């Protein structure tokens, strides 16, 4: 009994020390920038990273629009933030936004432009992850990873460029939450809707690579506007993102690895919030960040792919929109 505790207790302490050491490498947003009078939109803000991002921006006194697919859950998220915030005057606005529907995106953007002359921060956080075993499509017939993670973000951001460019004071900021998994992705501009998928295809990784291409191309196209664009990786975060792919027994299998590598949502939001608030980034745009610093991707990015992705995305959206008019 005593001999067992002699080994177990030191082992637990060592594991905790290793975990704490890893946490010091993850980066932390250390600035205390206030966002008084600023208006921020956070997509997918009812849970996980989005909820924590909205909570942090509200704590800095921004007026936060929680753009969520389910309005009831958005209201619940607002109640949670109000109940846990030290700021008794948090300004939270729940709004319905379904990135799987181009109609919903346009309707949301129209309402924003109707009620707000300017938007200061747009954080494109919402995303989905499904297994490749069954093709899932959006309401408009797009493969769901491409349709939501890329096309929805692409369309929403472009529709909001006018109020973003009207931002007073410092430049407006567009933050695209990507992932280091983009390094496992490919962008096939001849099959963006993934009609020819193999077992090796990583649809989620592909969409995250598109996110970064989009951020890069957007920054080039809006140089004359007062808007900065940042792509970021929050790290491996404990959220419900992969709930469609992970079975209950997977948690036991990944637990030892997760203990050392998985971040809490509060730890995961550090880089997105850093990109949205850090004064030193005012002169930077179109770059990728992780752990609150520049991240050098293993991917070689090609301008012609970024351009083609943009043009094909516009074409696909226009075809759907014309049908609905």
213-257 pLDDT per residue, tens: 999 999 999 988 999 999 999 976 665 555 545 554 444 455 555
Q: What is the pLDDT of residues 272-303, one digit of tens each?
A: 999 999 999 999 999 999 999 999 999 999 99
pLDDT for the residue numbered 276: 98
CATH of the domain at 179: 3.40.50.720
Q: Is residue 247 part of a domain?
A: yes
Residue 107 CA to its chain's centroid (Å): 21
- Residue 264: its pLDDT value, please? 80
Task: Identify the pLDDT of residue 248.
Answer: 41
In a domain? residue 55: yes
Asked whether residue 195 is assigned to any structural domain, the reply reads: yes
In the chain, the DSSP E strands lie at 39-43, 63-68, 91-96, 121-124, 172-177, 227-233, 287-290, 293-294
Percent of the chain with pLDDT over 70: 83
How many separate domains does the chain show?
A: 1
Assigned domain for 116 exists: yes
In this prediction, residue 197 has a pLDDT band, given cuts at 50, 70 and 90, of confident
Among 21-35, 146-160, 242-256, which range has the highest average pLDDT? 146-160
Please pick, among 155, 204, 230, 289, the residue that the annotation labels catalytic.
204
Query: Can you tell me whether residue 154 is helix, strand or coil?
Result: helix
pLDDT digits (tens, 9 = 90+) for 113-141: 999 999 999 999 999 988 877 889 999 99
Residue 71 belongs to domain spanning? 30-324
User: Considering the domain boundaries, does residue 104 fall inside one?
Assistant: yes
User: Is 276 a member of any domain?
Assistant: yes
Q: What is the pLDDT of residues 48-94, one digit of tens each?
A: 999 999 999 999 999 999 999 999 999 999 999 999 887 778 899 99
Residue 204 known to be catalytic: yes
């Amino acid at each position: 009994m005593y001999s067992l505790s002699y080994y177990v207790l030191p082992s637990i302490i060592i594991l905790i020390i290793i975990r704490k050491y890893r946490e010091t490498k993850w980066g932390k947003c250390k600035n205390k920038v206030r966002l008084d009078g600023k208006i921020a939109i956070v997509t997918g803000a009812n849970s996980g990273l989005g909820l924590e991002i909205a909570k942090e921006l509200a704590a800095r006194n921004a007026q936060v629009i929680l753009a969520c697919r389910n309005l009831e859950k958005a209201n619940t998220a607002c109640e949670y933030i109000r109940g846990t915030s030290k700021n008794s005057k948090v300004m939270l606005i729940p709004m319905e936004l379904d990135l799987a529907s181009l109609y919903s995106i346009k309707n949301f953007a129209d309402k924003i432009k109707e009620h707000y002359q300017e938007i200061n921060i747009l954080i494109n956080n919402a995303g989905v992850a499904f297994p490749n075993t069954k093709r899932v499509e959006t309401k408009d017939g797009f493969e769901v990873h491409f349709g939501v993670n890329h096309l929805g973000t692409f369309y929403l951001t472009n529709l909001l460029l006018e109020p973003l460019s009207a931002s007073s004071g410092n430049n407006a900021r567009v933050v695209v939450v990507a992932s280091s998994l983009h390094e496992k992705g490919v962008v096939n501009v001849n099959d963006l809707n993934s009609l020819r998928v193999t077992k090796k295809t990583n649809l989620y990784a592909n969409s995250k690579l598109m996110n970064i291409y989009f951020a890069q191309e957007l920054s080039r196209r809006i140089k004359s506007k007062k808007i900065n664009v940042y792509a970021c990786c929050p790290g491996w975060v404990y959220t419900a993102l992969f709930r469609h792919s992970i079975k209950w027994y997977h948690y036991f299998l990944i637990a030892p690895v997760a203990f050392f590598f998985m971040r809490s949502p509060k730890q995961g939001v550090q880089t997105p919030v850093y990109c949205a608030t850090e004064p030193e980034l005012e002169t930077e745009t179109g770059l990728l960040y992780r752990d609150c610093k520049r991240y050098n991707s293993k991917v070689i990015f090609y301008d012609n792919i970024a351009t083609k992705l943009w043009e094909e995305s516009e074409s696909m959206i226009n075809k759907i929109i014309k049908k609905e008019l």
